[in-house]
Amino acid sequence: MRILALESSCDETACAILENASLLSNVVVSQIDIFKAYGGVIPEVAARSHLEAILPVIDQAFQDGNLLKNGQNDWSKIDAIAVTHTPGLLGSLLVGTLTARTLAILHKKPLYAVHHLKSHIFSNWLTASPSYPLLALVISGGHTQIIRMTSDTDFEIIGTTLDDAVGECFDKVAKILGLPYPGGPSIAKAAKSGNPEKYPLPIPKIKDLNFSFSGLKTAVLRAVQKEVDVPISFPSHELKNLLTPEQINDFAASFQNTACKILLQKLKKAQKIYPDTASIVFAGGVSANSALRSLAQKTFEKSPNSPKLYFPDLKFAGDNAAMVGIAAYHEILSGRQPTDPYSLNILPRSEIS
Protein backbone atom coordinates (compact mmCIF):
# COMPACT_ATOMS: atom_id res chain seq x y z
CA MET A 1 0.00 0.00 0.00
CA ARG A 2 1.29 3.47 -0.91
CA ILE A 3 0.21 6.39 1.25
CA LEU A 4 0.70 10.05 0.34
CA ALA A 5 0.80 12.06 3.58
CA LEU A 6 0.50 15.81 4.15
CA GLU A 7 1.44 17.90 7.19
CA SER A 8 0.77 21.64 7.60
CA SER A 9 -0.26 22.13 11.23
CA CYS A 10 2.23 24.89 12.12
CA ASP A 11 5.13 26.30 10.09
CA GLU A 12 6.34 23.30 8.06
CA THR A 13 4.74 22.31 4.77
CA ALA A 14 5.48 18.64 4.22
CA CYS A 15 4.61 15.73 1.97
CA ALA A 16 5.86 12.15 2.23
CA ILE A 17 5.07 9.02 0.27
CA LEU A 18 5.33 5.66 2.02
CA GLU A 19 5.16 2.13 0.68
CA ASN A 20 3.77 0.30 3.69
CA ALA A 21 6.20 1.31 6.48
CA SER A 22 9.07 2.39 4.23
CA LEU A 23 9.64 5.86 3.04
CA LEU A 24 9.80 6.58 -0.72
CA SER A 25 10.11 10.34 -0.32
CA ASN A 26 10.05 12.91 2.45
CA VAL A 27 9.87 16.62 1.60
CA VAL A 28 9.76 19.34 4.27
CA VAL A 29 9.72 23.06 3.54
CA SER A 30 10.22 25.06 6.71
CA GLN A 31 9.12 28.65 7.27
CA ILE A 32 11.76 29.16 9.97
CA ASP A 33 13.64 31.71 7.87
CA ILE A 34 10.51 33.84 7.54
CA PHE A 35 9.73 33.76 11.26
CA LYS A 36 13.30 34.32 12.48
CA ALA A 37 12.81 38.01 11.72
CA TYR A 38 9.69 38.14 13.92
CA GLY A 39 10.86 35.85 16.73
CA GLY A 40 7.80 33.60 16.40
CA VAL A 41 5.10 32.24 14.09
CA ILE A 42 2.48 34.64 12.69
CA PRO A 43 -0.50 32.39 11.91
CA GLU A 44 -1.81 34.34 8.90
CA VAL A 45 1.66 34.46 7.31
CA ALA A 46 2.11 30.74 8.01
CA ALA A 47 -1.18 29.88 6.28
CA ARG A 48 -0.29 31.93 3.21
CA SER A 49 3.16 30.32 3.02
CA HIS A 50 1.55 26.85 3.17
CA LEU A 51 -0.68 27.87 0.24
CA GLU A 52 2.35 28.79 -1.84
CA ALA A 53 4.36 25.71 -0.90
CA ILE A 54 1.92 22.83 -0.77
CA LEU A 55 1.57 21.95 -4.46
CA PRO A 56 5.32 22.25 -5.25
CA VAL A 57 6.04 20.12 -2.15
CA ILE A 58 3.64 17.41 -3.38
CA ASP A 59 5.22 17.52 -6.87
CA GLN A 60 8.67 17.15 -5.29
CA ALA A 61 7.53 14.12 -3.28
CA PHE A 62 6.29 12.38 -6.46
CA GLN A 63 9.56 13.25 -8.20
CA ASP A 64 11.79 12.06 -5.33
CA GLY A 65 9.80 8.81 -5.10
CA ASN A 66 10.20 8.15 -8.87
CA LEU A 67 6.44 8.21 -9.21
CA LEU A 68 6.11 10.25 -12.40
CA LYS A 69 4.43 9.10 -15.60
CA ASN A 70 5.09 11.17 -18.74
CA GLY A 71 6.45 13.89 -16.46
CA GLN A 72 3.23 14.05 -14.41
CA ASN A 73 2.46 12.86 -10.86
CA ASP A 74 1.30 9.25 -11.25
CA TRP A 75 -1.71 9.09 -8.95
CA SER A 76 -2.44 5.51 -10.03
CA LYS A 77 0.51 4.52 -7.80
CA ILE A 78 -1.10 6.05 -4.67
CA ASP A 79 -3.60 4.01 -2.64
CA ALA A 80 -4.52 6.43 0.15
CA ILE A 81 -4.09 10.02 1.32
CA ALA A 82 -3.37 10.96 4.95
CA VAL A 83 -3.43 14.45 6.45
CA THR A 84 -2.99 16.16 9.82
CA HIS A 85 -6.41 17.48 10.87
CA THR A 86 -5.81 18.59 14.47
CA PRO A 87 -4.38 20.14 16.66
CA GLY A 88 -2.60 23.10 15.13
CA LEU A 89 -3.02 26.61 13.75
CA LEU A 90 -6.42 26.95 12.13
CA GLY A 91 -5.35 28.55 8.84
CA SER A 92 -2.36 26.21 8.51
CA LEU A 93 -4.49 23.08 9.09
CA LEU A 94 -7.08 24.34 6.59
CA VAL A 95 -4.52 24.45 3.78
CA GLY A 96 -3.47 20.82 4.35
CA THR A 97 -6.95 19.43 4.91
CA LEU A 98 -8.53 21.27 1.95
CA THR A 99 -5.70 20.11 -0.31
CA ALA A 100 -6.01 16.52 0.92
CA ARG A 101 -9.77 16.32 0.58
CA THR A 102 -9.69 17.89 -2.89
CA LEU A 103 -7.04 15.40 -4.03
CA ALA A 104 -8.98 12.52 -2.45
CA ILE A 105 -12.16 13.50 -4.31
CA LEU A 106 -10.36 14.22 -7.60
CA HIS A 107 -8.28 11.04 -7.65
CA LYS A 108 -10.85 8.85 -5.84
CA LYS A 109 -8.54 7.84 -2.99
CA PRO A 110 -9.54 6.97 0.58
CA LEU A 111 -8.71 9.80 2.98
CA TYR A 112 -7.35 9.38 6.52
CA ALA A 113 -7.36 12.32 8.95
CA VAL A 114 -4.54 11.89 11.47
CA HIS A 115 -4.08 13.46 14.92
CA HIS A 116 -0.80 15.40 15.05
CA LEU A 117 0.32 13.95 18.38
CA LYS A 118 -0.32 10.39 17.18
CA SER A 119 1.95 11.21 14.24
CA HIS A 120 4.69 12.44 16.60
CA ILE A 121 4.42 9.22 18.63
CA PHE A 122 4.49 7.02 15.52
CA SER A 123 7.56 8.85 14.16
CA ASN A 124 9.43 6.27 16.27
CA TRP A 125 8.02 3.43 14.14
CA LEU A 126 9.82 4.82 11.07
CA THR A 127 13.05 3.39 12.49
CA ALA A 128 12.01 0.89 15.21
CA SER A 129 9.19 -1.27 16.58
CA PRO A 130 8.56 -0.38 20.24
CA SER A 131 6.55 -2.99 22.09
CA TYR A 132 3.47 -2.43 24.25
CA PRO A 133 2.47 -1.42 26.86
CA LEU A 134 4.36 1.82 26.50
CA LEU A 135 4.59 5.33 27.82
CA ALA A 136 4.93 8.13 25.28
CA LEU A 137 6.36 11.47 26.39
CA VAL A 138 4.95 13.95 23.89
CA ILE A 139 6.94 17.18 24.09
CA SER A 140 6.31 19.80 21.43
CA GLY A 141 5.68 23.50 21.02
CA GLY A 142 2.04 23.09 22.00
CA HIS A 143 1.89 19.94 24.16
CA THR A 144 3.52 18.21 27.11
CA GLN A 145 1.84 14.91 27.86
CA ILE A 146 2.51 11.42 29.12
CA ILE A 147 0.36 8.97 27.21
CA ARG A 148 0.01 5.29 28.05
CA MET A 149 -0.62 3.03 25.07
CA THR A 150 -1.52 -0.64 25.25
CA SER A 151 -1.87 -1.06 21.47
CA ASP A 152 -1.61 1.00 18.26
CA THR A 153 -5.07 2.40 18.96
CA ASP A 154 -5.42 2.64 22.76
CA PHE A 155 -4.30 5.99 24.13
CA GLU A 156 -4.76 7.25 27.67
CA ILE A 157 -3.46 10.67 28.70
CA ILE A 158 -2.08 10.13 32.21
CA GLY A 159 -0.28 13.47 32.57
CA THR A 160 -0.47 16.83 30.85
CA THR A 161 0.74 20.38 31.35
CA LEU A 162 -1.47 22.64 33.42
CA ASP A 163 -0.15 25.75 31.63
CA ASP A 164 2.69 26.20 29.10
CA ALA A 165 4.11 23.42 26.95
CA VAL A 166 7.80 22.63 27.46
CA GLY A 167 8.69 23.65 23.88
CA GLU A 168 6.90 26.96 24.40
CA CYS A 169 8.99 27.41 27.56
CA PHE A 170 12.23 26.80 25.62
CA ASP A 171 11.05 29.39 23.07
CA LYS A 172 10.14 31.98 25.72
CA VAL A 173 13.35 31.53 27.73
CA ALA A 174 15.34 31.88 24.48
CA LYS A 175 13.61 35.22 23.91
CA ILE A 176 14.58 36.43 27.39
CA LEU A 177 18.19 35.43 26.67
CA GLY A 178 18.14 37.05 23.21
CA LEU A 179 18.70 33.72 21.42
CA PRO A 180 17.22 33.33 17.92
CA TYR A 181 13.95 31.59 17.00
CA PRO A 182 13.24 28.68 17.21
CA GLY A 183 14.29 28.75 20.84
CA GLY A 184 14.73 25.02 21.48
CA PRO A 185 17.72 24.43 19.19
CA SER A 186 19.23 27.83 20.19
CA ILE A 187 19.04 26.99 23.89
CA ALA A 188 20.50 23.53 23.23
CA LYS A 189 23.42 25.08 21.32
CA ALA A 190 24.16 27.76 23.96
CA ALA A 191 23.81 25.20 26.77
CA LYS A 192 26.68 23.14 25.33
CA SER A 193 29.10 25.87 26.53
CA GLY A 194 27.29 26.59 29.79
CA ASN A 195 27.30 25.35 33.37
CA PRO A 196 23.98 23.56 34.15
CA GLU A 197 24.48 24.02 37.92
CA LYS A 198 25.22 27.76 37.82
CA TYR A 199 21.69 29.06 38.42
CA PRO A 200 19.49 26.81 40.60
CA LEU A 201 15.89 26.89 39.33
CA PRO A 202 12.79 25.45 41.04
CA ILE A 203 11.12 22.13 40.21
CA PRO A 204 7.32 22.44 40.59
CA LYS A 205 5.80 20.38 43.39
CA ILE A 206 2.85 18.81 41.62
CA LYS A 207 1.83 15.50 43.17
CA ASP A 208 0.21 13.74 40.20
CA LEU A 209 1.64 13.19 36.71
CA ASN A 210 0.81 16.70 35.48
CA PHE A 211 3.38 19.31 34.54
CA SER A 212 3.72 23.07 34.90
CA PHE A 213 6.22 25.16 32.97
CA SER A 214 5.01 28.75 33.35
CA GLY A 215 6.69 29.06 36.77
CA LEU A 216 10.03 27.92 35.35
CA LYS A 217 9.90 30.58 32.66
CA THR A 218 9.19 33.25 35.30
CA ALA A 219 11.93 31.84 37.54
CA VAL A 220 14.46 32.29 34.71
CA LEU A 221 13.22 35.85 34.17
CA ARG A 222 13.61 36.70 37.87
CA ALA A 223 17.04 35.05 38.06
CA VAL A 224 18.24 37.04 35.04
CA GLN A 225 16.89 40.28 36.52
CA LYS A 226 18.68 39.50 39.78
CA GLU A 227 21.91 38.61 38.01
CA VAL A 228 22.05 41.90 36.06
CA ASP A 229 20.70 43.83 39.06
CA VAL A 230 17.56 45.42 37.64
CA PRO A 231 14.05 45.65 39.19
CA ILE A 232 11.28 43.21 38.13
CA SER A 233 9.61 46.06 36.22
CA PHE A 234 12.60 46.18 33.83
CA PRO A 235 11.45 45.34 30.24
CA SER A 236 12.29 41.68 29.58
CA HIS A 237 13.22 42.28 25.92
CA GLU A 238 16.07 44.58 27.03
CA LEU A 239 17.65 42.09 29.44
CA LYS A 240 19.65 40.40 26.69
CA ASN A 241 21.70 43.58 26.21
CA LEU A 242 22.93 43.35 29.81
CA LEU A 243 24.00 39.69 29.75
CA THR A 244 27.49 38.46 28.87
CA PRO A 245 27.81 35.49 26.46
CA GLU A 246 28.97 33.38 29.41
CA GLN A 247 25.90 34.28 31.49
CA ILE A 248 23.63 33.48 28.50
CA ASN A 249 25.24 30.04 28.12
CA ASP A 250 24.96 29.35 31.85
CA PHE A 251 21.29 30.38 31.95
CA ALA A 252 20.58 28.24 28.87
CA ALA A 253 22.30 25.23 30.45
CA SER A 254 20.64 25.72 33.86
CA PHE A 255 17.20 26.10 32.31
CA GLN A 256 17.62 23.13 29.97
CA ASN A 257 18.86 20.94 32.81
CA THR A 258 15.88 21.86 35.01
CA ALA A 259 13.34 21.38 32.18
CA CYS A 260 14.81 17.92 31.44
CA LYS A 261 14.72 16.98 35.14
CA ILE A 262 11.04 18.02 35.40
CA LEU A 263 10.14 15.88 32.38
CA LEU A 264 12.14 12.84 33.46
CA GLN A 265 11.08 12.89 37.12
CA LYS A 266 7.42 12.66 36.00
CA LEU A 267 8.20 9.99 33.46
CA LYS A 268 10.00 7.95 36.11
CA LYS A 269 7.02 8.37 38.42
CA ALA A 270 4.69 7.17 35.63
CA GLN A 271 6.91 4.14 35.03
CA LYS A 272 6.68 3.25 38.74
CA ILE A 273 2.88 3.48 38.58
CA TYR A 274 2.86 1.28 35.44
CA PRO A 275 5.62 -1.28 36.13
CA ASP A 276 4.54 -3.36 33.10
CA THR A 277 5.86 -0.61 30.79
CA ALA A 278 7.93 -2.32 28.09
CA SER A 279 8.96 0.80 26.13
CA ILE A 280 9.24 4.52 26.61
CA VAL A 281 8.97 6.57 23.42
CA PHE A 282 9.89 10.23 23.14
CA ALA A 283 7.99 12.33 20.61
CA GLY A 284 7.75 15.92 19.34
CA GLY A 285 10.22 18.69 18.59
CA VAL A 286 11.77 18.80 22.08
CA SER A 287 12.70 15.10 21.79
CA ALA A 288 15.51 16.26 19.48
CA ASN A 289 17.26 17.68 22.56
CA SER A 290 20.53 15.79 23.09
CA ALA A 291 20.85 16.64 26.81
CA LEU A 292 17.37 15.18 27.36
CA ARG A 293 18.31 12.05 25.42
CA SER A 294 21.40 11.37 27.51
CA LEU A 295 19.76 12.23 30.85
CA ALA A 296 16.86 9.90 29.92
CA GLN A 297 19.27 7.02 29.28
CA LYS A 298 20.90 7.61 32.69
CA THR A 299 17.53 7.93 34.45
CA PHE A 300 16.18 4.62 33.21
CA GLU A 301 19.27 2.43 32.83
CA LYS A 302 19.10 1.35 36.46
CA SER A 303 15.33 1.09 36.81
CA PRO A 304 14.08 -2.35 37.96
CA ASN A 305 12.22 -3.46 34.82
CA SER A 306 14.39 -1.33 32.47
CA PRO A 307 11.96 -0.29 29.74
CA LYS A 308 13.59 0.18 26.34
CA LEU A 309 13.90 3.83 25.32
CA TYR A 310 13.11 5.10 21.81
CA PHE A 311 13.84 8.50 20.31
CA PRO A 312 12.77 9.57 16.82
CA ASP A 313 15.52 9.93 14.25
CA LEU A 314 16.44 13.64 14.31
CA LYS A 315 14.95 14.25 10.87
CA PHE A 316 11.57 12.95 12.16
CA ALA A 317 11.55 14.74 15.56
CA GLY A 318 10.16 18.05 14.28
CA ASP A 319 7.10 18.38 12.09
CA ASN A 320 7.18 16.24 8.93
CA ALA A 321 4.78 14.15 6.85
CA ALA A 322 6.59 10.80 7.11
CA MET A 323 5.22 10.50 10.65
CA VAL A 324 1.70 11.26 9.39
CA GLY A 325 2.02 8.48 6.83
CA ILE A 326 3.30 5.89 9.30
CA ALA A 327 0.58 6.80 11.83
CA ALA A 328 -2.07 6.39 9.11
CA TYR A 329 -0.51 3.08 8.08
CA HIS A 330 -0.79 1.73 11.63
CA GLU A 331 -4.38 2.96 11.89
CA ILE A 332 -5.30 1.31 8.58
CA LEU A 333 -3.71 -1.98 9.74
CA SER A 334 -5.88 -1.71 12.88
CA GLY A 335 -9.03 -1.48 10.76
CA ARG A 336 -9.57 2.26 10.75
CA GLN A 337 -12.16 3.34 8.16
CA PRO A 338 -11.49 6.31 5.84
CA THR A 339 -12.90 9.76 6.55
CA ASP A 340 -15.56 11.14 4.21
CA PRO A 341 -13.66 13.91 2.34
CA TYR A 342 -16.85 16.02 2.15
CA SER A 343 -17.19 16.09 5.92
CA LEU A 344 -13.55 16.18 7.05
CA ASN A 345 -13.58 18.49 10.02
CA ILE A 346 -10.48 20.16 11.42
CA LEU A 347 -12.12 20.94 14.73
CA PRO A 348 -13.31 17.75 16.38
CA ARG A 349 -11.96 16.99 19.85
CA SER A 350 -8.36 18.02 19.68
CA GLU A 351 -7.22 15.64 22.48
CA ILE A 352 -5.64 12.40 21.36
CA SER A 353 -8.06 9.47 21.84
Q: Which residues bind Zn ion (CB under 5 A)?
A: 140, 319
Which residue stretch of 55-63, 97-105, 181-189, 335-343 sits at the interface with ligand KG4 (rule: CB under 6 A)?
181-189
- The 131-150 contact track toward ligand KG4, x by CB under 6 A, reads ---------xxx--------
Q: Which positions from 213 through 252 interact with ligand KG4, judged by CB under 6 A?
A: none
Q: Confirm or reject binding of residue 284 to ligand KG4 (CB under 6 A).
A: yes
For residues 307 and 264, what is the distance between their CA atoms, to the nearest angstrom? 14
Q: Confirm or reject binding of residue 152 to ligand KG4 (CB under 6 A).
A: no
Q: How far is the CB of 319 from Zn ion (least distance, A)?
A: 4
Exposed / middle / buried, residue 4 (Cβ in 10 Å: 0-12, 13-18, 19+): buried
Alpha-carbon distances, residue 298 vs 62, 141, 159, 264 (angstroms): 42, 25, 22, 10
Find, among 309, 229, 331, the residue nearest to 263 by Cα: 309
Smaller CB separation from Zn ion, 239 or 259 = 259
Instruction: Determine contact, residues 164/214, Cβ cutoff 8 Å.
Output: yes
Which residue stretch of 153-161, 210-218, 284-292, 341-349 sits at the interface with ligand KG4 (rule: CB under 6 A)?
284-292
3-state secondary structure of 17: strand
Q: Confirm or reject binding of residue 194 to ligand KG4 (CB under 6 A).
A: no
Q: Confirm or reject binding of residue 196 to ligand KG4 (CB under 6 A).
A: no
Q: What is the number of other CB atoms lying within 10 angstroms of the CB of residue 119?
A: 27
| Amino acid in position 183 | G
Q: Confirm or reject binding of residue 8 to ligand KG4 (CB under 6 A).
A: no
Q: Confirm or reject binding of residue 286 to ligand KG4 (CB under 6 A).
A: yes
Which residue stretch of 239-247, 263-271, 280-288, 304-312 sits at the interface with ligand KG4 (rule: CB under 6 A)?
280-288
For residues 286 and 91, what is the distance between their CA atoms, to the nearest angstrom? 24
